[in-house]
Structure 1
Amino acid sequence: MDLERTLAAITARGVRLPPHQASAELHRQHPLELPGGRRRTTTAARRGQNAFRKALVRQYGLICAVTGPTPAEALEAAHIRPFASTERHRVEEGLLLRADIHRLFDSGLLTFSPDLEVYIAPSLFGHPAYKALQGGRLHLPADAVLDRDVIREHHSITTSTW
């Protein structure tokens, strides 16, 4: 193996290696402590999020729409159309999602088709737990009040970025 070429390839990919030091010096290093504390901020609080979650729990139970029954502590109320763009909580535009699934959904890495099938971004295919969700059906009752037009819009916008 050519060490110089290997190190050059690693560096070209943005990987930072620690400086070469004697092993005795490495043993004397202390873990790095990151700065902590607090800072003051002003934020705009969202009104109605808790009531929105309760309405979704009444509608669907403690069930993640993607993965199925989930402890209440891990479920979040997700807006299919971002709250930031509408500032409305509409049950027909919401689902209960497990926290990690909600994060993927909001990040544009997971979406649903209008026929309620789960789609994940190709970048997640290397993660078996998420790849297994691809093509699955949402866990929703037959009489779910979902706005299929909003789902179609989200699916179209999200998959166009993949």
Structure 2
Amino acid sequence: MTNSDQQSIKALDYSGVLAAVSLRGVRLPRSRPSSAGVRPRPFELSGGRRRATVAVRRGQNAFRRALVRRYGMICAVTGPAPAEVLQAAHLRAFAITEQHRAEEGLLLRSDIHHLFDSGLLAIRPEGFTVQVAPSLSGYPTYSELEGVSLQIADTDLIDRSALADHYESTVATW
């Protein structure tokens, strides 16, 4: 306790705070006893390998090559990008259709592709502009994409019904 006129900053009752937090069911990490002069051990995660049987998509590389021939090394949303980050995105999920149709594909930067497939980014079929999920409003890099026009030369090559289906199913979840 101080004799200061300003009482906005007071000493913390640490044990009282811990008790209040505990009563609310919040689990805190266990504290480690401090050992002066002892270097902490590095935190290691288990590694190694495991065997798996997976179904491999046939034709994905050819699909990407077809999109590169069609649009060049350009992310449809953000513009020119290095080959290493460009991925071939399907407007209709390959898991459902099991088809690679260039008309139903776009080249997208890997982060944009992930947002597109995760239902956080869609393309308006009228006007070919980007719409970003409201949940991304706190991320300037992505919220600034709202309303951006597609960066590809010929949007006539895109299957508009596939784009509309993707758009409708995506924004319906927002």
What TM-score do the two structures reach when normalised by structure 1? 0.88
1:118 aligns with 2:130: yes
The residue that corresponds to 1:8 in the other structure is: 21
Q: 1:6 to 1:56 in 2, by over 3 A?
A: farther
Q: 1:18-77 CA deviation, whole Å, 9 max, x = no partner?
A: 223333279543122111111111111111000000000000000000000000111000
Identity of aligned residues (%): 54
1:84 aligns with 2:95: yes
The residue that corresponds to 2:58 in the other structure is: 47
Which of 21, 45, 51 is matched with 2:32 structurally? 21
Q: Which has the larger radius of gyration?
A: 2
1:154 aligns with 2:166: yes
Q: 1:111-148 CA deviation, whole Å, 9 max, x = no partner?
A: 10102110111111101100110111111223531011
Which of 95, 120, 142 is matched with 1:109 structurally? 120
1-structure distance, mates of 2:151, 2:160: 15
Residue 5 (structure 1) shift: 7.1
The residue that corresponds to 1:73 in the other structure is: 84
2-structure distance, mates of 1:26, 1:18: 22
2-structure distance, mates of 1:152, 1:2: 58
Q: How many residues in Structure 1 have an aligned counterpart in Structure 2?
A: 159
Q: Which runs of 5+ in 2 are unaligned?
A: 1-11
What TM-score do the two structures reach when normalised by structure 2? 0.83
Name the amino acid aligned to 2:21. Answer: A
Please give the secondary structure, in 2, of the residue aligned with 1:77: strand
Q: 1:109 to 1:47 in 2, by over 3 A?
A: same
Name the amino acid aligned to 2:95. Answer: A
- Cα RMSD for the two superposed structures: 2.3
Farther-moved stretch of structure 1 (23-32 vs 98-107): 23-32
Q: Which runs of 5+ in 1 are unaligned?
A: none
